[in-house]
Structure 1
Amino acid sequence: METWWRALTFTLGYNTSLVTVGAMLLAAAAGMVGSFVLLRKRALVSDAISHSTLPGLALAFLVMGVWQGDGRVLPALLAGAAASAALGLWLVQRIGERTRLGEDAAIGAVLSTFFAFGVVLITVIQTLSVRGQSGLTGYLVGATAGMLYSEALLIAACAVGLLLALLVWRRDLLLLCFDADFARTQGFDTGRLDLLLLLLLMAVVVIGLKVTGLILVVALTIIPPVAARFWTDQPMRMVALAALLGALSGYLGVSLSSVREGLPTGPLIVLAAFTLFLVSFLFSPRRGVLASLLAYRRLRQRVHLRQGLLALGRDEPIFDGLTLKLLQRRGHVRRDGVATPAGLAAARDAEHEERLWALYRRRYPDDALHREHAGLTPIGQVLSADAIMALEAELPPAETAR
């Protein structure tokens, strides 16, 4: 526990602190890019890009190994991964444009082919006498334990560059995500904006290879934005919150991996992100499971109470247990089911309001469609006093006098 606390407070060591900051910046950038990708409804593209990096990574390792005897040179590996990912992305787009196949089919074909080719290359590399091949498999699931100072600094610098690029182009990308046709009419080159978004996504995937690996880096571009979506409807708030949740995932994952030697950093970062998603899924006050259950319970009680009062006003028997329980709790009926004077008064008010709502729906059917739960909400909270007086004047005399 003491080790974890030192990792949380950045006092465990310089290298650990540097890796933590780098992972936080990377996860924040992944959350921001993933938010735009999610709003653009192209989340699966990140999976294709990540798996397409493997053959380029392996080929770059082979080239550097033949050239200088050690293939583990991070800038060269990232450049090879980026070139391979760009080729995979180009193939996905061309297959979707030139054939009748959908984007999901193109992603599946490119993803499986590139990943299989990369696995073959890694198997071949393991049989060669080249230094560093033991660490190459770490790019599949991440390997921050052996991260050098220069590597951590490079990842942090690239993550900062990504964050700045997103801040510069955030408005153009949002317009593309929500209304590409309108953006086109306003003079925006939507093709270039789409390409820019995919290049930013590719950069996140390539940079994240060392931290979470190509298999798990997809989670950082999907889980934080999905979790952020539970908390807000505002797009820029969602982007900011996704960046915050991503950074928190990186912070918790790296600090947890420092508790004991051998704990994998990449999987722990993803598990931390999933924990934050689970908290959002369960406890979000807007769309969380708990909030939805409470809202359903409140709506159910309102329906039963309303129907119970209408039944009292019409002198109809009530058999439903929940309805009787709610009426007794409000003091509208006694234990034997007989209405109290207060209950009769509330029933007359409810019946009168129900007639007003019925008249309103007949007079203004289009407007009534946009009123959520019209009839359950008191009419005085929905319509103005003048509108209610106009409805009162239109009620038939027999109904008014009843």
Structure 2
Amino acid sequence: MLTTWLEPWGRALLFGAGYNTSLVTLGAMILGASAGMIGSFILLRKRSLVSDAVSHATLPGLTLAFILMATLWGDGRWLPGLLIGAAASAAFGLWAVQTIRDRTRLGEDAAIGAILSTLFGFGVVLITAIQSMNVGGQAGLTGYLVGATAGMLASEATLITACALLLLVAVFVMRRAFLLVCFDADYATTRGLNARHIDLIMLMLLLAVVVIGLKVTGLILIVALTIIPPVTGRFWTDRPLRMVAIAALCGALAGYLGVTLSSVRSGLPTGPLIVLAAFLLFAVSLLFSPRRGIVATLAAHQRFKRRVHLRQGLLALARDDAIYDDLTLRVLRRRGYIRRDGVATPLGASAARDAEHEERLWALYRNRYPDEAAQLDHQGLVPINSALPPDTVITLESDLQRIPGSVQ
């Protein structure tokens, strides 16, 4: 059973599953990269929900374009016409959201909710009406909800690939202007950029991604390609441009895996598989990212916990206090600071004196420089020589010697 899946999937992964499948795979990869890039800027601009409104707003335009073409020519499945209708409807939805946000007291989230539900509901009503029309192609129209590439013509795949490539180039060219507006629109204005126009270009590129991706992932799931890859990239870096590059890579990889897997057997939905592939990359990043992954966070917490117990244990040894905590005893034994009976070794006694001395230095520093000390993290858990400038440590050592009864 596994072999019957792996062999055709392997051919698809190597672009050996036929011209049309290879073209769709390439188009989905470019589309995923474009969605990841523009989605990163939308995420940094804190407007990710706008993509949801735009995607759902395409449905009325899509269905109206189908009705118009079916009435005129008897077949409404011409892809360029459907995309034009979807783009017009999405542009109207985007304009409506912006207008409600700017000219009323409602926030953008409320405007998105109102426009999203209204336009999507109107589109569903139109789809129901289309089912009763005496024209061909009604069944294929529902494929735009969750994506449908199995019956995609070579000309349609070529159109999607070309549009996605142009979009990718446009996002790449505008990347620096987008970053300036995302982080500081006022500063961008002083640099000669029109922040409002840059915002509009950003949203138009988002709209283009949504419209181009209708045939591949569908209007319901295309929003995932503009959100999941950027969030995945955020786990791996703090640098915006590097995050954009990682998001583009994750989006392309999700498209590659989703389309090739859907080609293994007829009936497998392309859009959901692309989204699941994107989520798989997100889940791996969530777990294993060295910066913010769950595994790295748990490991850092354990290291911090051991450092706290080591410090408290050494201070207890220096003050001849009894130690009852099991973890503290294990940490001290592992370092060779105490014997099995809990008595300090010569190495432990020396480390305890050093810890006590550093604790006095930290206490003096907090007393002399309270404002600076409040800005430091984990005081006493790192050597004071590495946490403070050398001249400050020398001054503290000199002041400590003048205190009666200080431990040298």
Q: TM-score range by the shorter chain?
A: over 0.9
Report the Cα distance in structure 2 between the residues aligned to 1:258 and 1:367, rounded to whole angstroms: 61
**Letter of the structure 1 residue corresponding to residue 404 of structure 2:** A
Task: Look up the match of 2:291.
Answer: 286
1:100 CA drift (Å)? 1.2
| Two-structure CA RMSD over aligned residues (Å) | 1.1
1:314 equivalent to 2:308? Answer no
Task: Look up the match of 1:246.
Answer: 251
1:163 equivalent to 2:163? Answer no
Residue number among 365, 380, 405 corresponding to 1:360 in the alignment? 365
Task: Look up the match of 1:271.
Answer: 276
Task: Look up the match of 2:81.
Answer: 76
Task: Look up the match of 1:44.
Answer: 49
Task: Look up the match of 2:154.
Answer: 149
**Letter of the structure 2 residue corresponding to residue 46 of structure 1:** S
1:116 equivalent to 2:130? Answer no
Q: Tell me the SS of whatever aligns to 1:53.
A: helix
Residue number among 168, 177, 185 corresponding to 1:172 in the alignment? 177
Residue number among 15, 24, 34 corresponding to 1:29 in the alignment? 34
1:384 CA drift (Å)? 3.6
Report the Cα distance in structure 2 between the residues aligned to 1:401 and 1:354, rounded to whole angstroms: 11
1:343 CA drift (Å)? 1.0
Report the Cα distance in structure 1 between the residues aligned to 2:203 and 2:370, rounded to whole angstroms: 46
1:261 CA drift (Å)? 1.2
Task: Look up the match of 1:300.
Answer: 305
Task: Look up the match of 2:3.
Answer: none
Residue number among 88, 106, 110 corresponding to 1:105 in the alignment? 110
Task: Look up the match of 2:340.
Answer: 335
| TM-score normalized with structure 1 length | 0.98
Q: Which moved more, 1:368-377 or 1:42-51?
A: 368-377
Task: Look up the match of 1:259.
Answer: 264
Report the Cα distance in structure 2 between the residues aligned to 1:187 and 1:330, rounded to whole angstroms: 60
1:85 equivalent to 2:84? Answer no
Report the Cα distance in structure 2 between the residues aligned to 1:83 and 1:365, rounded to whole angstroms: 61
Report the Cα distance in structure 2 between the residues aligned to 1:274 and 1:257, rounded to whole angstroms: 16
Report if aligned partners of 2:310, 2:328 keep a CA contact under 8 Å in 1.
Answer: yes
**Letter of the structure 2 residue corresponding to residue 337 of structure 1:** G
1:336 CA drift (Å)? 1.7
CA deviations 1:73-118 (Å, max 9, x no partner) are: 1101000000000000111111111111111111000000000000
Report the Cα distance in structure 1 between the residues aligned to 2:169 and 2:104, rounded to whole angstroms: 37
1:39 CA drift (Å)? 0.2
Residue number among 392, 398, 401 corresponding to 2:404 in the alignment? 398
Q: Tell me the SS of whatever aligns to 2:174.
A: helix
1:222/1:401 CA distance change after superposition, 3 Å = closer
Report the Cα distance in structure 1 between the residues aligned to 2:53 and 2:231, rounded to whole angstroms: 19
Task: Look up the match of 2:241.
Answer: 236
Residue segments in structure 1 that go unaligned for 5+ positions in a row: none
How many residues are paired up? 402
Task: Look up the match of 1:206.
Answer: 211
Report the Cα distance in structure 2 between the residues aligned to 1:373 and 1:41, rounded to whole angstroms: 32
Q: Tell me the SS of whatever aligns to 1:24.
A: helix
**Letter of the structure 2 residue corresponding to residue 124 of structure 1:** A
CA deviations 1:106-139 (Å, max 9, x no partner) are: 1000000000000000110110011211100000
1:43 CA drift (Å)? 0.3
Report if aligned partners of 2:9, 2:261 keep a CA contact under 8 Å in 1.
Answer: yes
Task: Look up the match of 1:375.
Answer: 380
1:366 CA drift (Å)? 2.9
1:363 CA drift (Å)? 2.5
**Letter of the structure 2 residue corresponding to residue 266 of structure 1:** G
Residue number among 14, 21, 37 corresponding to 1:16 in the alignment? 21
Report the Cα distance in structure 2 between the residues aligned to 1:108 and 1:69, rounded to whole angstroms: 35
Residue segments in structure 2 that go unaligned for 5+ positions in a row: 1-5
Q: Tell me the SS of whatever aligns to 1:375.
A: coil
Task: Look up the match of 1:134.
Answer: 139
Task: Look up the match of 2:70.
Answer: 65
Runs of 4+ in structure 1 displaced over 4 angstroms?
Answer: none
Report the Cα distance in structure 1 between the residues aligned to 2:51 and 2:367, rounded to whole angstroms: 51
**Letter of the structure 1 residue corresponding to residue 28 of structure 2:** A
Report the Cα distance in structure 2 between the residues aligned to 1:358 and 1:172, rounded to whole angstroms: 48
Report the Cα distance in structure 1 between the residues aligned to 2:64 and 2:229, rounded to whole angstroms: 32
